Chain A
Amino acid sequence: QQQVKQSPQSLIVQKGGIPIINCAYENTAFDYFPWYQQFPGKGPALLIAIRPDVSEKKEGRFTISFNKSAKQFSLHIMDSQPGDSATYFCAATKETSGSRLTFGEGTQLTVNP
Chain B
Amino acid sequence: KAGVTQTPRYLIKTRGQQVTLSCSPISGHRSVSWYQQTPGQGLQFLFEYFSETQRNKGNFPGRFSGRQFSNSRSEMNVSTLELGDSALYLCASSGGLALISFRTDEQFFGPGTRLTVL
Contact = CB atoms under 8 A, between A and B. Distances in A.
Contacts of A58: none
27 contacts: A34-B104, A41-B111, A43-B4, A43-B92, A43-B110, A43-B112, A44-B90, A45-B108, A45-B109, A46-B108, A49-B104, A95-B98, A95-B104, A96-B99, A97-B56, A98-B31, A98-B48, A98-B56, A98-B99, A100-B48, A101-B33, A101-B45, A103-B35, A103-B43, A105-B42, A106-B42, A106-B43
Chain A binding surface SS class: mixed
Contacts of A25: none
B42 A104 contact: yes
Interface residues of A, number: 24
Contacts, number: 72
Interface of B: 4, 31, 33, 35, 42-45, 48, 50, 55-56, 58, 90, 92, 94, 96, 98-99, 102-112
